[in-house]
Structure 1
Amino acid sequence: MDDLKVLCRIIGNDFELEDELSAEQLRGKMVYAFSWLLDNDISKMMNILYRTDVNEERLKSLLISSSQLPSAEVIADEYISRQLQKIETRKKYST
């Protein structure tokens, strides 16, 4: 199974997703989801980021240094990046 399919499956635990998404579609859906969460349910967003083990200090730093980008984009990119790191770690230790 390729990394994108695994990524969609893992992210599907936190968000409702279709099975077959391109990387661009996945990012777009995550940006939309985090934008909605920022506006409507910050505690749920924080819970998702906590369970995903997104580094809070790194995220704060990215939000400050990327102030020209919408916060939802920065958060979505970091969330996806963390999920990809977890996939790589699992692959590394499953052989």
Structure 2
Amino acid sequence: MDDIKVLSRIIGKDFELEEELSEELIRQKMIHAFSWLLDNDISKMMNILYRTDVDEERLKSLLVSRSQLPSAEVIADEYISRQKQKVETWKKYST
């Protein structure tokens, strides 16, 4: 199974995603989702980031260093990056 399908499946545990999405479309959907969560349900967002094991200190640092970008975009990129790390780890140990 290719990495994007695995990534979609992993992210699908937290968000509803269609199976056949490009990486860029996944990113756009995650930016939209985190934007909504920032405005409407920050505790749910924090729970998702905690369960995903997104490094809180790293995320804080990124939010400061990339302050010219929307927060939802920075959070989405870090969330996706963490999920990609999981895919790589699974691939490494499943062969």
Instruction: Supply the distance in 2 between the matched residues of 1:39 and 1:6 (Cα, whole angstroms).
Output: 29
The amino acid that maps onto 2:54 is V
Question: Where does structure 2 lack aligned partners over 5 or more consecutive residues?
Answer: none
What is the CA distance between 1:94 and its match in structure 2? 1.4
Instruction: Supply the distance in 2 between the matched residues of 1:82 and 1:42 (Cα, whole angstroms).
Output: 19
TM-score (norm 1): 0.98
What is the CA distance between 1:93 and its match in structure 2? 1.2
Percent pairwise identity: 83
User: Does 2:90 align with 1:94?
Assistant: no
The amino acid that maps onto 1:88 is E
Instruction: Supply the distance in 1 between the matched residues of 2:58 and 2:8 (Cα, whole angstroms).
Output: 23
Question: Where does structure 1 lack aligned partners over 5 or more consecutive residues?
Answer: none
User: What is residue 66 of structure 1 aligned with on the other side?
Assistant: 66
Structure 1 residue ranges, 4+ long, deviating more than 2 angstroms after superposition: none
How big is the alpha-carbon RMSD for the aligned residues of Structure 1 and Structure 2? Answer: 0.5
User: What is residue 43 of structure 1 aligned with on the other side?
Assistant: 43
Residue-pair matches, total = 95
- SS of equivalent residue, structure 2 residue 59: helix
What is the CA distance between 1:17 and its match in structure 2? 0.6
User: What is residue 34 of structure 1 aligned with on the other side?
Assistant: 34
User: What is residue 7 of structure 2 aligned with on the other side?
Assistant: 7
TM-score (norm 2): 0.98
